[in-house]
Structure 1
Amino acid sequence: MRIFKMHTYYQQRGGEDESFAAEVALLRERGHEVLALTFHNQELDRMPPWRQGLVTLWNQEAYRRVREAVRQHRPDLVHVHNTFPLASPAVVHAAKAEGVPVVMTLRNYRLLCVNALFFREGRVCEDCLGRLPWRGVVRGCYRGSPLASGVVAAMLTTHRALGTWARGVDVYIALTEFARRKFMEGGLPAEKIVVKPNFVHPDPGAGEGRGGYALFVGRLSPEKGVRTLLQAWVRLQGKVPLKVVGDGPLAGEVRQAVKSLAGMEWLGRRNPDEVYALMRDAAFLVFPSEWYETFGRVAIEAFASGTPVLAANIGAVAEVTDHGRTGLLFRPGDPEDLASKVEWLLTHPGELARMRREARAEYEAKYTAERNYQLLMEIYGQALEAGHRRRG
């Protein structure tokens, strides 16, 4: 199969970018011809603000590049991962203009929410779900700017009117059932949305948790529940060491916490191999996110490492973590409940050991490269069938 995959890279490489690269590599390993076209948002830095706004709505150069690439390589299908902002939804129209089926992976809530998070002022916000996103403009939900938010809202509204989301895409991929339900609530055609999770490849191997510490891996930002994590460790009073991996706007608060909390260590950013080594030795991973994660890749990386997850009971990560089997769930934003769950794990070593085995089994059953490849081929088959029906 010849596959044309497109993605717009963020300013700094993140989980979405890594998932795209992993999927490209997986397909090539299985013998498929993959043309990967990437757009880099750094190009926006060289444009005046008015030009940035225009290309977010419709990037004619991206439209031209995609049509030319499709004509030259004649792929069986086009798989779009992220169009925001540089590529723009124009790339979907380019593929359709050439009669090629389109698959789109939904890695955040950008099609439904101006800031793509359903999170505002420290809480979940669904004010624009299924509605015109004018509230997000008034509140400056994108980068704190009503003007920038207006551009995003204009892009969303324009492409709803053009039918880009309803008719331009043959199959949408949501990462969890939770995310699928949200996209359905937001108006995407339910019959076009299928679920395929992320995967971890190569297999990092399972550890034994010999380090005896708790681990947090992620962006140090409010929606990730960093403040809840720190408040919980104040209550725990050094009962279990905590290692924090990551960087972000709350780095200063983490740095201050390290000075006052016994056993806490901030490691900053680490490469994937270092993170996996930390996961294998961790007693458990803490995932205190307070927004609707579309998936929670860090959780399945922990499962692959044989490490259970202590997760906030919200969004997709609550779906990924099976309470009492692969980890425990706690009330989001509640440091007392988080601390109590940590204490329970510390006083039930037999249960913790069982969860380690179950976490690894969960990875082997659902999140390996082979399982993901099977699901992806089924999805591509569905898209090809839709394309045949349309032509036929």
Structure 2
Amino acid sequence: MNILVAHNYYQQIGGEEQVFLAECNLLESYGHSVYRYILNNDQIETTPPLELLGKTIWNWDVYQEMRSLIRQQNIQIVHFHNTFPLISPSAYYAAKAEGASVVQTFHNYRLLCPNALFLRDGKVCEDCLGKVIPWQGIQHNCYRGSKSASAAVVTMLTTHRLLQTWNRQVNAYIALTDFARDKFIQGGLPVGKVFVKPNFVDPDPGIGEGKGGYALFVGRLSVEKGIDVLLEAWAQLSTKIPLKIVGDGSLASEVNRATQQLRGIEWLGRRPMDEVYKLMQNAQFLIFPSKWYEGLPRTLIESFACGTPVIAANLGAMSSFVTPYETGLHFQLGKADDLVTQVEWAIAHPEQILQMRQNARTEFEIKYTSSESYQQLIKIYEKACIQ
């Protein structure tokens, strides 16, 4: 099968880029011809605002390039990861014009929410869910804290809702969890077009022993990731179990300040994946305090692959991913005191945590391997071709 996989890179490389690359490599390993179409958000800095608005709604250059590439390479499937803002929905029309089937993976909630997170002022917000014109995104400056930038996103969403782009130009959507699928259907997408396929991890890092005697956080240091909750909890926990933090982001200065005030916190910054895997394998458990619904972070799957239980906020994807007292624990969203309670329980029950390690690893082997992901992806492609 000839497959074109398209992705609009973010300025800060993250999980979506990892999934994009991993899925391309996976398809090639099974003998498919994979062509990559990539744009990068670094171009935004040199693009005048009005021109950027136009491209966000409909990028004629991408439309022409995409049609030409599909025609030349006899592409059968065009699989999109992120199209915002430079690839634009015009790429869907290009694919359909050339007779290719269109698949779109949802890594966030951009189609339903201008800031893509269902998060405002540090709390879950669904004000724009189901609205043809998500005007409240402009009212609250939801995208990048800017009214003009928010207006650009809302204009793009409204234009393509009125054109029925999301219903007519895409053959199949991939949601990463049942929770996400339900949200997109609630937002108006056709039930029969939204399928669930989680992310995967390959190569398999292997199970660890968890004997490092520390808790671990891996991720972006930003508001939506619940860094404030993490640090507040460790103000009470630092003498009971050390915390290692891997990652970087806008709240790096606050994390650095916490390391100076609390002896039990160590900030390691960005680390190569082989080091991250070793840290996961040796961690007693992973902490995941995110404040937004999430898609399905690779960090969670990587933790299970390493046999490391997860203590996560009871919200969105995390609610179904972690089974309490089997593969990890839940704490109340945004409640540092409850996170403290769950960590203290984990410390006091080493035998149960040991069993959770095996359960987490088993969950990975059943649901999140490359072979399982490939089988699911091909079935979705087949369904897309007959939509």
Report if TM-score (shorter chain) is over 0.5: yes
Displacement after TM superposition at 1:236 (Å)? 1.9
Aligned letter for 2:288?
A: F
1:79 corresponds in structure 2 to: 79
Identity among equivalent positions (%) equals 55
Could you tell me which runs of 5 or more consecutive residues in structure 2 were left unpaired when the two chains were aligned.
none
Matches within 5 A, 1:288-299: 288-299=289-300
Map of 1:390 onto structure 2: none
* Correspondence for 1:255: 256
Q: How many residues align?
A: 386
Find the counterpart in structure 2 of residue 123 from structure 1: 123
CA distance in 1, matches of 2:35, 2:22: 14
Letter in 2 for 1:45: E
Residue type of the alignment partner of 2:372: R
* Structure 2 residue 223 is matched with structure 1 residue 219: no
Match of 1:49 in 2: 49
* Distance in 1 of aligned mates of 2:323 and 2:381: 29
Structure-2-length-normalised TM-score: 0.98
Q: Please list the CA deviations of residues 139-159 of structure 1 after superposition, one character each: whole Å capped at 9, or x if unmatched.
A: 110011111100000000001
The answer to whether the Cα contact below 8 Å between 2:238 and 2:264 also exists between their aligned partners in 1 is: no
- Distance, in Å, in 2 between the alignment partners of 1:94 and 1:45 is 26
**CA apart distance, 1:287:** 0.3
Give the residue type in structure 1 aligned to 2:239: G
Partner Cα separation in structure 2 for residue 287 and residue 308 of structure 1: 11
SS in 2 for 1:355: helix
Aligned-pair CA distance for 1:53: 1.1
TM-superposed deviation, 1:262: 2.2
Is the deviation greater in 64-73 or in 248-257? 248-257
1:389 match: none
Q: CA contact under 8 A between 1:296 and 1:317: conserved in structure 2?
A: no
Q: Distance in 2 between matches of 1:129 and 1:282?
A: 38
Aligned equivalents of 1:63 and 1:8: distance in 2? 14
Tell me the amino acid that sits aligned with residue 52 of structure 1: L
Asked if the contact 2:305/2:360 (under 8 Å) is kept, the reply is yes
Q: Deviation at 1:190? A: 1.3
Q: Could you tell me how far apart the structure 1 residues matched to 2:59 and 2:234 are?
A: 47
Q: What are the residue-to-residue correspondences of 1:226-265 with 2, within 5 Å?
A: 226-265=227-266
- SS in structure 2 opposite 1:210? coil
- Whether 1:101 aligns to 2:101 is yes
8 Å Cα contact 1:309-1:328 kept in structure 2? yes
Q: What displacement does 1:23 show?
A: 0.1
Shift of the alpha carbon at 1:91?
A: 0.3
Structure 1 position 313 matched with structure 2 position 314: yes
* More displaced 10-residue stretch of structure 1: 235-244 or 122-131: 235-244
User: Partner of 2:138 in structure 1?
Assistant: 137
By how many angstroms is 1:162 displaced? 1.1
Displacement of 1:323 in angstroms is 1.0
Give the whole-Å Cα distance in 1 for the aligned partners of 2:190 and 2:375: 24
The answer to whether the 8 Å contact 1:3/1:34 transfers is: yes
TM superposition shift of 1:296: 2.4
The equivalent residue for 2:356 is 355
1:143-183 deviation digits (Å, cap 9, x = unpaired)? 11111100000000001111110110010000000001111
Paired residue type of 1:352: I
Secondary structure, aligned partner of 1:343: helix
Per-residue deviation at 1:274? 1.1
Match of 1:30?
30
Q: RMSD over aligned Cα, in angstroms? A: 0.8
Q: d(CA) in 1 for partners of 2:333 and 2:309? A: 18
Q: Conserved in 2, the CA contact under 8 Å of 1:280 and 1:305?
A: yes
Q: Structure 1: state its 5+ residue gaps.
A: 387-392
SS in 1 for 2:8: strand
Q: Does the aligned pair in 2 maintain the 1:39–1:86 contact within 8 Å?
A: yes
Question: Shift of residue 133 of structure 1?
Answer: 0.8
Aligned counterpart, 1:161: 162
| 8 Å Cα contact 1:176-1:196 kept in structure 2 | yes
Q: Distance in 2 between matches of 1:126 and 1:188?
A: 16
Indicate conservation of the 8 Å contact 2:114/2:143, yes or no: yes
Residue 237 of structure 1: CA displacement? 4.1
| 2:329 is equivalent to residue 328 of structure 1 | yes
- Listed one character per residue, the Cα deviations across residues 106-142 of structure 1 (whole Å, up to 9, x for unaligned) are 1110001010000011100100000121000111100
1:366 and 1:111 map into 2 onto residues whose CA distance is 27
Give deviations 1:303-340, integer Å, cap 9, x for gaps.
00110000100010221111111100110100111001
Q: Which residue of 2 aligns with 1:303?
A: 304
| Amino acid in the other structure paired with 1:304 | A
1:272, distance to aligned residue in structure 2 (A): 1.1
Tell me what 2:195 maps to.
Answer: 194
1:12 positional shift: 2.0
d(CA) in 1 for partners of 2:329, 2:135? 38
Once residues 318 and 271 of structure 2 are traced to their aligned partners in structure 1, the CA distance between those partners, rounded to angstroms, is: 22
Q: How far apart in 1 are the matches of 2:303 and 2:187?
A: 31
Specify the code of the residue in structure 1 equivalent to 2:297.
G
C-alpha contact 2:238 2:265 (8 A) present in aligned 1: no
| Equivalent position SS for 1:266 | strand
- 1:54 counterpart SS class: helix
Q: Which runs of 4+ in 1 moved over 6 A?
A: none
Partner Cα separation in structure 1 for residue 45 and residue 176 of structure 2: 31
Once the two structures are TM-superposed, the CA of residue 77 in structure 1 deviates from its matched residue by: 1.2
1:375 deviation in Å?
0.3
What secondary structure does 1:85 align onto?
Answer: coil
